[in-house]
Amino acid sequence: MSNETILNGRYLLTAQQGSGGMAVIYKATDKALGRTVAVKILRPSMTVDPTFIMRFQNEARAIANLTHPNIVTVHDVGTHADTRGTTHYMVMEFVEGPDLKRVIRGDGSGQPLALDLALHYAIQICAGIGFAHRAGIVHADVKPQNVLVNANDQIIKVTDFGIAQALSETQPREREAVVWGSPHYFSPEQAKGEKPTPASDVYSIGIVMFEMLTGRLPFNGTTQQELAMAHVREQPPRVTDFNTEVPAELVNFVARALDKVPANRFRDAAQLGHLLIGLRDRLRIDKINSTYAQMPPVTTGKTGPLPPPPPQGQQGSRPMVPTEPRGSAVPPPPPTNPTAGNRTPPPMPPVAPQSQPQQPQPSRPQVPVQPPMQQPPQPPVVSDVMTQRVSPAPDPYQPPMQPVRPQMPRMSQPVSPAVQPPQPPMVDPNYYNSRPMSPQASEPIPTRGLFDPVTLALAVLAVVAVTCLIPLYIAVFSARG
């Protein structure tokens, strides 16, 4: 087919991109929308079989209903007729990049992919296939050749649902009961000719993961029959037999996906994908922790002991509470936490003569103390000694002020009665008897009279009722007689 081939006057074929057993893929230009697309054309040898044509059309309808970032989008499907015959084609989005098979082969050395890259690809494959499973569609031909890798952002695109089977019951007679995939990747039940299920796609994904992690396939054979029997009878090798760097958890995931019994595998691709995402996140956290553990400890760049604190009174430091040397004229401030049972301030030491002039301090006038028995009768009054309060704690950031207190006698002198320890105040015994204790006690309690209005009203009503009942009783007795 020449480069100037145009299908239905719209799709200009420019280059061949790949080929499979059923179709050939071309890169083309959509002249109507001006975009690059991929056109999948059935081989001429397949167009004579109406079964393959029906399968091709079913592929277009199945993929057209799937919209997912990891599934190739289908734009159009049609038929082109010319002098060379009828061409059946399907138009899909064009993915710029190789397929996964080429990525795995690399330079041909057989080296496996990096662990994080293999997990990145496997998670996206499970996301696309799992979305198809939720839509009731089985791919049934999962292999690296049907997985495209976008070279720009490493996004995976699953394609070629050509032999996919819809699990829904619409038009069951138009679908084949048995679908074969690629011999290297199909499941044991597909090798036996049974109908593929989502577990069959999980088995194929497990083969792809094994190949990405080891660089080789788990089963080999010279013919398709040998490969089919190997899938059915032989146990797959462990991933660690070829790559010891793979975590044990990931090795167990692959082994479970390759189980011979479908019920022992993962339920669908989405379940496997969720487990792979959790494993990837844990591996990233472990890598970060190990990186920080290997880093040298962070230091401030200073070694040796810390410098001593600045002396008191130095500029720039926080002001401290000034203290007075021994023998100073200024007495120390009173205690800040006096005991609860002793409200009398402690005796002040004698004031020595000042050697230097002091600034005048505000003073409080002294209150003369009078004997309590000489006061006229009045409510109890507590003496000044009982009402004195300890001054609050001095501000540590201001110099203390000398409090001015009444002259107190020394402890060696006899204590006058006015400054003795606090005693209960003496009160005139006739003070509380001079007036009633409460206003209610002096008011007389009102008494209700014998014939109040309510009682009289009730009595009148009773008399009226009895007066009305007497004629009734007389009439009843007369009727009986």
* Catalytic residue IDs: 141
CB-based contacts of 16, cutoff 8 Å, min separation 6: 24, 25, 26, 27
Give the relative orientation of helices 198-214 and 248-257 as an angle to the nearest 10 degrees.
Answer: 140
Sign of CA dihedral 132, 138, 144, 147: negative
- Please state, in angstroms and rounded to a whole number, the distance separating the CA atoms of residues 352 and 326: 12
Place of tokens 């994908």: 273
**Adjacent-strand bridge partners of 25:** 18, 40
- Using CA atoms, how far apart are residues 260 and 273, in angstroms rounded to an integer? 20
